[in-house]
Amino acid sequence: MTKIKAGIINVTGYAGIELARLLYRHPMVELCSVSGRSAAGQKIADVFPHAADIRLSIDADVKDVDVAFSAMPHKASAEVILPLFKKGVKIVDISADFRLKDAGDYPKWYDFTHPAADLLQQAVYGLPEFHRSDIANAVLVANPGCYPTGALLALGPAVKAGIVHPDIIIDSKSGVSGAGRSLNLTTHFCEAVDSVSAYALKGHRHFPEIVQELHGLNAGLDLSVTFLPHLIPMTRGILSTCYAQVKDGALKSGGGELMELYRDFYKDEPFVRVVSSPPGTKHTWGSNLCLIHPYFDNDSGRIIIISAIDNLVKGAAGQAIQNMNIMMGWPETTGLEALPVYP
Catalytic residues: 146
Strands (E), the chain: 4-9, 29-35, 58-59, 67-70, 90-93, 124-125, 140-142, 164-174, 197-198, 224-231, 238-246, 272-274, 290-297, 302-309
Q: Are 212 and 101 in contact (CB under 8 A)?
A: yes
Nearest to 3 by CA among 340, 342, 269, 334: 334
- Rounded Cα gap, residues 201 and 161, in angstroms: 29
Nearest to 309 by CA among 144, 141, 186, 197: 144
Q: Are 335 and 284 in contact (CB under 8 A)?
A: no
DSSP label at 253?
T
Nearest to 60 by CA among 17, 7, 122: 7
Q: Which residues pair with 244 in a beta bridge?
A: 168, 303
Helices of type H across the chain: 14-24, 44-47, 76-86, 105-110, 128-136, 146-161, 189-192, 207-217, 255-265, 318-328
